[in-house]
Amino acid sequence: MTTSPLFAPSPVPSSPLDLPVAVEAEELVRQLAAEGHLSADLAERRVREMANELAATGTYRQSEVEILLGSRIAWRNNAQCIGKFYWRGLETRDCRDVGAGGDGFDESALFEALVEHLRLAWNGGKVRLLLSVFAPSRPDRPGPRVWNGQLIRYAGYRQHDGSVVGDPGTVELTEAAQRLGWRGRGTEYDVLPLVIQYPGREPRFFDLPPDAVPEVHISHPDHPWFEQLGLRWHAFPTISDQILELGGLRYTLAPFSAWYTCTEIGARNLSDTNRYDKLPEVARGMGLDTSRDRTLWRDRALLELTAAVLHSYDRAGVSIVDHHFATKQFVRHEERELKSGRSCPADWSAIVPATSGSTTPVWQRRYEVTRARPNFAPHQAPWPTPTGGTEG
Ligand code: ARG
């Protein structure tokens, strides 16, 4: 096993909510029973079984059904996601034994399984809600992770003058990959390699095969010149820097795919000034007066860029929702949860869309960011950061 200061084992952070594993394991079983997934008898038996396994081995193995049902509740408990209406539609893939052969450190096997995840989630454009669950941390051995905030992301190359070619949101990851020996082509949309690490080992990087990285070129329904801007985005997001905290276990690699809401791309990724910052180009194409804020050129450009994203994904046959639909579904979800006697943890600033917020039904509502288990928790960034935050 090799360690160098650059690649010090990344600690798996323990959360302040941490309770003894046995307590959380029991809570999970009780919750599944309370939600009608198993009888009181079976729950009792399962709790005893877990306690015995924990006493003997210091950990326990969850059943596939516990992982499936528990992951759905983790999603439902997450305060950041507007798409929770579909929480019962989440599918899980059991990858816990991937890479477990040999010495138990097989980065290539993890990589193959992650590629397979992308192919399954893509599903020919009808994007699936898919979570792949890899080996959890054990007392003697923290689980593997990837350094990428998402499985598919574009590189950001810092230039000598401080500007960035590509996505400024991934400069640190790009530089980390370069330190490992990765070389990108230097274009605006180079797909980053996956950086895979077992704690205590040097990370390894792997380039994704092109067929696992579907993308959409952005054109506009009314402006033929729009296509010449050369904008594009990957077809769907796959969050890969969250730990699934389930029944006292921590799954450190649990990539989650879903479809996009158009505002995430049009009103954030391609338009934020600290991301692709494309509004000035769009505005110029539209012939807007960009000399003064008061012409509202940014607002007009933002709207057309978002419309172009929606149009392009539709035309390419790739699942995407608009923010009006997404917020209406969210409110339906809240109401359904209320009927089931549950509250709906939500972070207003994450639920209100990045544009036209006041035209959506969530604007007038108030939310609480309560944190319940099971849940997803962000990994610490694998490189030192002033705030200790995560990339992405
Ligand atoms: N906002 C992130 C992005 O633009 C993705 C976050 C998850 N979004 C989702 N629709 N599941 O890539």
The answer to the question of residue 9 being in a domain is no
Take residue 286 and report the two structure tokens written for it: 């539209």
From atom 1 of ligand 1, which residue's Cα is the shortest distance away? 264
The answer to the question of residue 70 being in a domain is yes
- Quote the pTM value: 0.94
Helical pair 297-315 and 279-286, crossing angle rounded to 10 deg: 90
Give CA–CA dist 328/194, Å, rounded: 35
**What are 66-89's pLDDT values in tens digits?**
999 999 999 999 999 999 999 999
User: Quick one: the chain helix, strand, coil %, rounded to 5?
Assistant: 40, 15, 45
Is the pLDDT score of 389 beyond 60? no
The answer to the question of residue 370 being in a domain is no
Take residue 201 and report the two structure tokens written for it: 């080992």
Take residue 100 and report the two structure tokens written for it: 């477990």
pLDDT number for residue 386? 65
**What are 336-357's pLDDT values in tens digits?**
999 999 999 999 999 999 999 9
Give CA–CA dist 56/71, Å, rounded: 26
The answer to the question of residue 372 being in a domain is no
Please choose, from the candidates 245, 199, 197, 255, the residue with its C-alpha nearest in 3D space to the C-alpha of residue 62.
245
Residue 283 belongs to domain spanning:
21-364
pLDDT number for residue 19? 79
The answer to the question of residue 184 being in a domain is yes
**In this structure, are strands 204-206 and 194-197 parallel, antiparallel, or unpaired?**
antiparallel
SS3 123: helix
The answer to the question of residue 250 being in a domain is yes
The answer to the question of residue 383 being in a domain is no
- Average pLDDT score over the chain: 94
Q: Which of 131, 264, 330, 352 to mutate to test the pocket of ligand 1 (most atoms within 8 A of CB)?
A: 264
Is the pLDDT score of 390 beyond 50? no
Is the pLDDT score of 371 beyond 50? yes
Give CA–CA dist 385/375, Å, rounded: 24
Give CA–CA dist 76/312, Å, rounded: 30
Q: Which of 152, 242, 260, 318 to mutate to test the pocket of ligand 1 (most atoms within 8 A of CB)?
A: 260
The answer to the question of residue 14 being in a domain is no
CB neighbours of residue 61 within 10 Å = 12
**What are 6-53's pLDDT values in tens digits?**
444 444 445 545 679 999 999 999 999 999 999 999 999 999 999 999
Q: Which residue stretches of the chain are H helix? A: 21-34, 40-57, 64-77, 107-122, 171-179, 262-264, 279-286, 297-315, 323-339, 348-351
Q: How far is the CA of 58 from the centre of ligand 1 (A)?
A: 36
Give the N- to C-terminal CA distance of the chain in Å, as an integer: 30
Residue 238 in contact with ligand 1 by CB distance below 6 A: no
**What are 286-316's pLDDT values in tens digits?**
999 999 999 999 999 999 999 999 999 999 9
Q: How far is the CA of 366 from the centre of ligand 1 (A)?
A: 22
Exposed / middle / buried, residue 78 (Cβ in 10 Å: 0-12, 13-18, 19+):
buried
Give CA–CA dist 31/297, Å, rounded: 51
CATH code: domain of residue 332:
3.90.340.10
pLDDT band at 383 (very low <50, low <70, confident <90, very high): confident
Q: How far is the CA of 261 from the centre of ligand 1 (A)?
A: 8
**What are 136-171's pLDDT values in tens digits?**
999 999 999 999 999 999 999 999 999 999 999 999
SS3 20: coil
> Count of domains in the chain?
1
Residue 169 in contact with ligand 1 by CB distance below 6 A: no
Torsion angle, CA of 16/22/25/27, rounded to 10 degrees? -80
Return the DSSP state at 87. G
pLDDT number for residue 384? 76
pLDDT number for residue 368? 94
SS3 239: strand
**What are 195-210's pLDDT values in tens digits?**
999 999 999 999 999 9
- Mean pLDDT across the stretch 309-327? 98
Is the pLDDT score of 264 beyond 70? yes
Give every CB contact of residue 304 below 8 A, 6+ residues apart in sequence.
220, 223, 226, 282, 286
